[in-house]
């Protein structure tokens, strides 16, 4: 888990963000800037009544987030705040990490182009809102809150680019890291056939898991063609979202990583001594657990 309790995203539609949150794992609640207090209360109550998973509240503005907390001060949830950082004072704190703004090294974060699984992985490590997060939402204010909106916009324009550069310079190094880049590096290090297969099978009922696992592993070692893979997938899975998960897995097997694993497996199957270390030494980018998974699955007599 990270130390953060709030993800900040600069002026993105809560409608778009809500589509990135898996309803199988969380209860996504989009609260738009046009909602009145009564509407916010009704929307939250309706969503948590229908779905018992941990709520993910996507607040369209600071005021919306405050209204939500006034109505539900004890509700356990994760919070996404859509705001413009230069309007906030202070724009940074230890519990807040900006995902889409110039307060972190990656610059603008294109939500429309990001993979849903990237957003979900970031969401998984976000801590539920605690007293510290609630205190920040309650205490942070808009710059020149007592003046007109036009003056705020003028001040914002005058502050670019100096304002955010000064802010970055004042931040601790850990606050200035790109969360998306860190996430991709972590995934790159751990991503393998075994972990991907295990994660994908979690979304399938137990009755179909064995046959789908066999389908995936058969495809990896060319016992099943792409056409057969797609045909069986269509007949076994009705849920389009789950089907896409298995198509993503197939793309991994069709990628360079999958090709290297397949090459290592065939090299191993031709070895008379069956020394796995020899193969792993020759194929350094191949995971031992992935190779062992294929060896256990495959009946050697079919290709020797």
pLDDT in tens, 3-31: 899 999 876 678 888 888 988 899 999 99
- Regarding predicted confidence, which is higher, 183 or 205? 205
pTM beyond 0.95, yes or no:
no
Binned at pLDDT 50, 70 and 90, residue 301 comes out as very low
Reading the block at residue 108, the tokens are: 């603008």
- Cα angle 148, 9, 109 (rounded to 5 degrees) comes to 125
233-257 per-position pLDDT tens digit? 999 988 887 888 899 899 999 989 8
Stated as kind and residue range, the H or E segment containing 272 is none
Lowest mean pLDDT among 170-174, 185-189, 221-225, 265-269: 185-189
Asked if pLDDT for residue 177 goes beyond 70, the answer is: no
- Regarding predicted confidence, which is higher, 32 or 175? 32
The pLDDT, as a whole number, for residue 156 is 60
Question: What whole-number distance in Å separates Cα of residue 10 and Cα of residue 17?
Answer: 12
The pLDDT, as a whole number, for residue 144 is 64
Asked if pLDDT for residue 65 goes beyond 90, the answer is: yes
117-161 per-position pLDDT tens digit? 788 889 999 999 999 999 999 999 887 655 555 566 666 666 555
């Amino acid at each position: 888990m990270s130390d953060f309790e709030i993800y900040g995203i600069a002026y993105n539609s809560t409608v778009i963000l809500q589509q990135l949150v898996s309803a199988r794992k969380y209860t996504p609640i989009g609260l738009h800037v046009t909602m009145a207090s009564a509407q916010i209360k009704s929307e939250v109550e309706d969503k948590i009544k229908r779905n018992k998973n941990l709520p993910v509240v996507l607040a369209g503005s600071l005021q919306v987030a405050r209204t939500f907390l006034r109505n539900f001060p004890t509700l356990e949830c994760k919070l996404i705040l859509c705001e413009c950082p230069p309007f906030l004072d202070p724009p940074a704190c230890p519990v807040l990490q900006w995902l889409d703004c110039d307060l972190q090294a990656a610059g603008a974060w294109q939500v429309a182009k990001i993979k849903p699984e990237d957003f979900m992985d970031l969401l998984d490590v976000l801590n539920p809102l605690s007293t510290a997060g609630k205190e920040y939402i309650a205490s942070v204010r808009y710059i020149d809150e007592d003046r007109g909106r036009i003056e705020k916009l003028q001040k914002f324009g005058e502050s670019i680019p100096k304002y955010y550069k000064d802010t970055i310079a004042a931040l601790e190094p850990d606050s200035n890291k790109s969360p998306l880049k860190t996430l991709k590096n972590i995934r790159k290090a751990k991503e393998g056939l075994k972990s991907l297969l295990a994660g994908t099978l979690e979304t399938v009922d137990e009755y179909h898991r064995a046959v789908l696992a066999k389908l995936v592993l058969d495809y990896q070692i060319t016992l099943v063609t792409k056409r057969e893979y797609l045909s069986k997938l269509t007949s076994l899975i009705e849920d389009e979202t789950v089907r896409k998960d298995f198509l993503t897995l197939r793309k991994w097997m069709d990628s360079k990583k999958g090709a290297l694993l397949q090459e290592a497996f065939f090299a191993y199957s031709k070895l008379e001594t069956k020394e796995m270390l020899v193969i792993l030494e020759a194929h350094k980018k191949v995971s031992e657990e992935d190779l062992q998974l294929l060896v256990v699955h495959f009946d050697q007599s079919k290709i020797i």
